[in-house]
Structure 1
């Protein structure tokens, strides 16, 4: 069963009432948010631009934004990917492009590894496939994932405005902290098997170390000499860009994303 409320929609997915928004028309592009973001803080400024010639479907994961948590179910990349794939079945979408940001990039990688037929192209922004790719100072940032540390932030405001149970905010942050501390160790061989063309994006002051973004780019088919063989995967390091600001860099992103999505495939 699917219900509609306000500007968004809800689908019954794996025990969730999963929130998603649909904007525009055309080939579907799934937007998968990160950290403690809902669709507004993750993609608010980008969505109308991307939806000019695409059907943009922006998703909120378990416990994020409008989608209520399942208290006894831990957060994991695998489970979040299961939920997104189940949503695609509800929407009768058999193939789409994916734009994953932070946590969402990991979810997109999981889908590409497990259900490659679902994935046309991948945009992986501030994403890792191994915990070693994260900045060594990240622990200092993650220590702020408490109700007190997030007080007055756009993330707190979005959650309190949209969550079915706003009082769950401190518990949600605890759950996200546990999720973030779990080791991520996907094999290079599994990443290398992904056939979908990928656009890897990171900020030069990101939580993802630039050498890890380059490694991911190479594993996904990048790094050849263009004059001899132009790779279908691409890499962009955005200047003067920290993790939480990456998806607000609309001028930079819109200079590269549309061309990638319209370009060739393997």
Structure 2
């Protein structure tokens, strides 16, 4: 597969890989925050199978396939490790990279991620199989696809494949989340599709939810953005970028402190 990616900026201990959401591309997922992050570090933004400028191949959508594609990209670029920032479906890909390919991940920023179906509001996925491609005509995702896709007529096939993935969403056990080695920052909108209770549960599994003045800060972080829905998280660059930059820079600060 000819995987499309862009490189922006320079610097940072490791490159930062951006992984977009379902039916989205680099522009609709990261158009506002990418330029900010690229001021201080090298940023690699990818477009997964059948999304954006990357053509489709004869293969179903799975989070495992997408994660393997990112690993192959790192291999071809000669990169041993990268930090990852994923939103929505891209956050699931980032989590799969962390659990299945731990040696390739430095730090994870996961926006709107759930590790099992219990994390999504009840009934939210009901009726998703009734979604038709034309229902999304005129949306920012469809308009981006028409501008960038090698085959603009492939929109219907993209939606169909995504519905199959939505019917077979990935899940992780609590033990897998506890064992995640990469320091992880969870990001959620306060009106997101993932419940705040689930985000807190995941935060605790990662080692968070402790009195930091007594125990020290954990390696994980939790950021809940006020007045923010699932689809408006990408538009909160002004609030989110400084938190991500501080979290990624923490690895460098810790290394200097220990040297």
Same fold (TM over 0.5): yes
**Cα distance in 2, alignment partners of residues 191 and 92 from structure 1:** 28
Aligned to 2:51: 64
Higher relative contact order (CA 8 A, sep 6+): 2
Give the 5 Å matches for 1:157-168: 157-168=143-154
SS in 2 for 1:254: helix
SS in 2 for 1:127: coil
2:85 to 99, 114, 131: 99
SS in 1 for 2:133: coil
SS in 2 for 1:94: coil
**Cα distance in 1, alignment partners of residues 126 and 138 from structure 2:** 19
**Cα distance in 2, alignment partners of residues 62 and 164 from structure 1:** 12
Question: Does the alignment pair 1:18 with 2:31?
Answer: no
Aligned to 2:29: 42
2:222 to 211, 224, 235: 235
Question: Does the alignment pair 1:213 with 2:216?
Answer: no
Shift in Å, 1:102: 0.6
Shift in Å, 1:144: 7.4
Aligned to 1:121: 107
1:179 to 162, 165, 183: 165
Say whether the 8 Å CA contact 1:199–1:235 is kept in structure 2.
Answer: yes
Shift in Å, 1:228: 1.4
Please report the TM-score for the alignment, with normalisation by the length of structure 2. 0.92
**Cα distance in 1, alignment partners of residues 28 and 49 from structure 2:** 16
Say whether the 8 Å CA contact 2:5–2:47 is kept in structure 1.
Answer: yes
Please report the TM-score for the alignment, with normalisation by the length of structure 1. 0.90
**Cα distance in 2, alignment partners of residues 217 and 141 from structure 1:** 30
**Cα distance in 2, alignment partners of residues 209 and 184 from structure 1:** 17
Shift in Å, 1:35: 1.6
Shift in Å, 1:217: 1.2
Aligned to 2:17: 30
Q: What is the RMSD of the two structures over their aligned residues, measured on CA atoms?
A: 1.6
Give the number of aligned pairs: 250
Shift in Å, 1:203: 0.5
**Cα distance in 1, alignment partners of residues 177 and 104 from structure 2:** 16
**Cα distance in 2, alignment partners of residues 126 and 241 from structure 1:** 11
5+ residue gaps in structure 1?
A: 1-15
1:80 to 38, 42, 66: 66
Q: Give per-residue Cα distances to partners, 1:82-101, cap 9 Å, x unaligned.
A: 10000000010101110011
**Cα distance in 1, alignment partners of residues 197 and 127 from structure 2:** 20
Shift in Å, 1:136: 1.8
